[in-house]
Structure 1
Amino acid sequence: MKVITVPVTGFAQNCRIIICQQTNKAALVDPGGDAEKLCAQLASLGCELIAIYLTHGHLDHVGAAKQLADKFNVDIIGPHIDDKFWFDSLPMQAQMFGFAPISPFYPTQWLNHGDMISVGNSQLSVRHCPGHTPGHVVFYDDETQQVIVGDVIFQGSVGRTDFPKGDSAQLLASIKSEILSFADEVAILPGHGPNTTVGHERKTNPFISGRFG
């Protein structure tokens, strides 16, 4: 599985284009905005978009999902249904974050812990990691040892929990039970900022060690 990172919007949110190199089929993970930029990138790669996968319902991660799903006639899949209220509140989120007005939309399919999603021949496992939002999920590719984590964990930090239904204790529990269950060499691909590894965060992230939080 090849991963191309395309930062979008003023929030510099890391939209990921994941590509099965055997079939050239691709999926977008968290297309938060800048639909034309993402279309241009897909065209330059010459891949076939087959799905849009979402880690959670915050607007900076889902803002262009409906527009792109309609354009390419693909399904929006994820996150967990516990984030439905964030999709209900998309118009309010647009006002709060300074985005263009947007109407509520919903995934074609909600995801559950233990589900598998596919991109061509590549298979990713779904892990439910609530805390930043109650329905947050992450996507793990065992073959290439990469996990796309949305806003669960960042290099040296963790996701905010001061939004509605955020829970700092639950977030740390998710990180420890799910993210830290991976081997140290597994690459962490966060929703903002640089990539890191499980081992680096296990050793240095002050929120995990208890120094902060």
Structure 2
Amino acid sequence: MKWQRVPLGPLSTNAYILSNQQKECVIFDPGGDDQKLISTLNRQGLKPVAILLTHAHFDHIGAVDEVRNQYGIKVYIHESEKKWLGDSSLNGSRFFMGNEVRINDADVHLKEEGKLTVGSFTFELFHTPGHSPGSVSFYHEEAEVVFSGDALFAGSIGRTDLPGGNSELLLSSIHKKLLSLPEETIVLSGHGPETTIQAEMDDNPFLHGF
């Protein structure tokens, strides 16, 4: 398994591509710049099988429709935010962007935590609300990575002052779900560099004293 970060969109939000030896791949959070992402995929000969969304804020969804239509693949999102894709007040674009972002409905609404199989990829799905109600994290054991969206960052945590945000819930999600992962797990966040579970347990000031 191989992962790569591709910053996209108005906030340079981290999209990720996880690929296997057969050149199949899963795309996480394509936030904008659809042609940049499509060009990257085509140049590497990758075959997308799905788009997985950690949550539905505008900077994580801007290129969803273009990429979905280009490859004829399904979009996955937690059911708590299924209405956010087409609602610019919920996804935040009405307040933060000059242009409102409206995306077509997702194809799959995630409900249950646990094993999630997408094509030949298998993840452990964690519901990690707090930054937003439907925030989820995708853990891939073989690759030793967790795609945490905007829940956990290197040295920080997600903001909780947006609609549906809850700081106590976010800290609980991080401690109960993410920090239970093996310490060597690489955390791939929605913004900034990668980190590890161990590094955040040791040094993240927001996680101490909870």
User: What TM-score does the superposition give when structure 1 sets the normalisation length?
Assistant: 0.92
Alpha-carbon shift at residue 52 of structure 1 (Å): 0.7
The count of corresponding residues between Structure 1 and Structure 2 is 208
* Long gaps (5+) in structure 1: none
| Mapping 1:11-90, distance limit 5 Å | 11-21=11-21, 23-78=22-77, 80-90=78-88
More helix by percentage: 1
Matches within 5 A, 1:127-138: 127-138=126-137
Residues 91 and 103, structure 1, Cα contact 8 Å, conserved in 2: no
**How high is the sequence identity, in percent, across the aligned residues?**
36
In structure 2, distance between residues paired with 1:102 and 1:164:
16
Alignment of 1:71-150 (within 5 A): 71-78=70-77, 80-90=78-88, 93-98=92-97, 100-111=99-110, 112-120=112-120, 122-150=121-149
- Residue 141 of structure 1 aligns with an amino acid whose one-letter code is H
Distance 2:76 2:186 in 1: 23
Structure 1 runs of 4+ off > 3 angstroms?
A: 99-102
Q: Deviations over 1:12-46 (max 9, x none)?
A: 1110011012x211111000000000011001110
Cα deviation per residue 1:125-168 (whole Å; 9 max; x = unaligned)?
11110100111111101112110100000001000000011100
Return closer, same or farther for 1:119/1:12 CA change in 2, 3 Å cut-off.
Answer: farther
Secondary structure of 1:63 counterpart: coil
Q: Report if aligned partners of 1:17, 1:28 keep a CA contact under 8 Å in 2.
A: yes
Instruction: Structure 2 unaligned segments of length 5 or more: list them.
Output: none
